[in-house]
Amino acid sequence: MQIQYKPKRGWLATIFQAEIVQGMTLTLKRLFSKPITRQYPDEKPKIRPGFRGQHALVRDPETGDCKCIGCMRCAMACPSRCIRIRSHKDKEPGSRRVIDCYRIDSLRCVYCGYCEEVCPVNAIVLTEVYEYGSYTRPSLYFTKEQLLANWDRFAAELDTPVEEYVNPFWRPRGLSEQDLPAPKRLPVSPEWSGEQQVVGRKWRQHHTPEQS
C-alpha cells in the first residue's frame, strides 16, 4: 500500500488561506446545484426486486392456507434463530403436514434471506415492504395469521398479478436448473441467477494451471 502525504503549504498559501478559499468554493458550488435529498415520505424511493423487507407467508390460492410443508429448513438455516414452527401430520396416508404455529421474531432477524433460498416450495418471503415500524414489541413478533395478512396486503399492492410475482431469493444463485427442485426453477435475470458466474465446481472445471 502506498501512502500519499499532503504536500506542505507554502508561505503564500498560508497568507491567503488557500484551503479556506477551496472549501468556500466547494460550498458555493454545491449551494447552487440541484438538491439530491429525497423529501420522504412525499417522495418515496423505488424499491428494487430482491429488497428484503417485511416477512410474509405466501398464501396458497387452492387451499387458502400457507404453502409451508413443515420441512423446518428455514428454521435450521436461520442464523439468528428467529423462526419457530410447530406442525403435525394427519394419520391418513398421503396427507401433508399441517402447520399449527409459524412465528417470526422480526426484531432478531438479520434479513439475510436464507429462509427464502432454502424453502423448497417458496412459502416464505421477505417482501419489498419496508414501512412497518411500531412502538410495541409484540406487533413485530409475527404469527402465522399475521404473516398471511402481510402477504395479502403486499399482493394487493402489486402492479402485476400475484401469480406472476417472483422474488429473486426464491431462485438461489450459483445453481443450475438441474440442481434445483421444480418450484424453484423460476424465471429471473441471468445477473441474479449467477448461471454465468464461474464458482464452485464450475470454477474447478474452468480453472487450469495456465490461467493462474
**Do 88 and 144 lie in a common domain?**
yes
Are 97 and 191 found together in one domain? Answer: no
Task: Say if residues 86 and 101 touch (Cβ distance below 8 Å).
Answer: yes
**Is residue 178 in a domain?**
yes
Are residue 132 and residue 189 in the same domain, yes or no?
Answer: no
Predicted confidence band of residue 212 (pLDDT cuts 50, 70, 90): very low
What pLDDT is recorded for position 149? 95
Assess if residue 132 is contained within a domain: yes
More confident residue, 84 or 191: 84
CA distance 49 to 156: 17
Any idea of the CA torsion for 64, 61, 180, 68, to the nearest 10 degrees? -10
Instruction: Find out whether 122 and 128 touch, Cβ atoms under 8 Å.
Output: no
Helix H or strand E encompassing 106:
none
pTM of the entire structure? 0.72
Q: In which band, very low, low, confident or very high, does the pLDDT at 198 lie, cut at 50, 70 and 90?
A: low
Give the C-alpha separation, 32 to 75, whole Å.
53
Kindly state whether residue 21 falls inside one of the protein's structural domains: no
Are residues 132 and 177 both part of a single domain? Answer: no
Same domain, 117 and 186: no
Q: Which domain holds residue 178?
A: 171-202
pLDDT of residue 127: 94
Strand partners, 57: 124
Residue 16, in any domain of the structure: no
Closest alpha carbon to 86 in 149, 143, 124, 151: 143
Task: Give the count of domains, the chain.
Answer: 2
Q: Is 134 exposed, middle or buried (CB count within 10 Å of its CB: 0-12, 13-18, 19+)?
A: exposed
Q: What is the pLDDT of residue 113?
A: 93
Of all residues in the chain, the percent with pLDDT exceeding 90 is 39
196 and 121 in a single domain? The answer is no
Residue 142, classed as helix, strand or coil, is: strand
Output 62 or 2, whichever has higher pLDDT: 62
More confident residue, 103 or 200: 103
- pLDDT score of 195: 59
pLDDT of residue 196: 60
Question: Looking at the structure, do residues 189 and 154 belong to the same domain, yes or no?
Answer: no
Statement to judge: residues 165 and 176 lie in one domain: no
20-65 pLDDT per residue, tens: 888 888 888 888 888 778 888 888 888 887 899 999 999 998 888 9
Q: Are 64 and 148 in contact (CB under 8 A)?
A: no
Look up the CATH number of the domain holding residue 95.
Answer: 3.30.70.3270
Residues 86 and 65 in one domain: yes
- Over range 78-96, report the average pLDDT: 86
Tell whether 85 and 142 lie within a shared domain: yes
Please indicate, yes or no, whether residues 137 and 74 belong to a single structural domain of this protein. yes
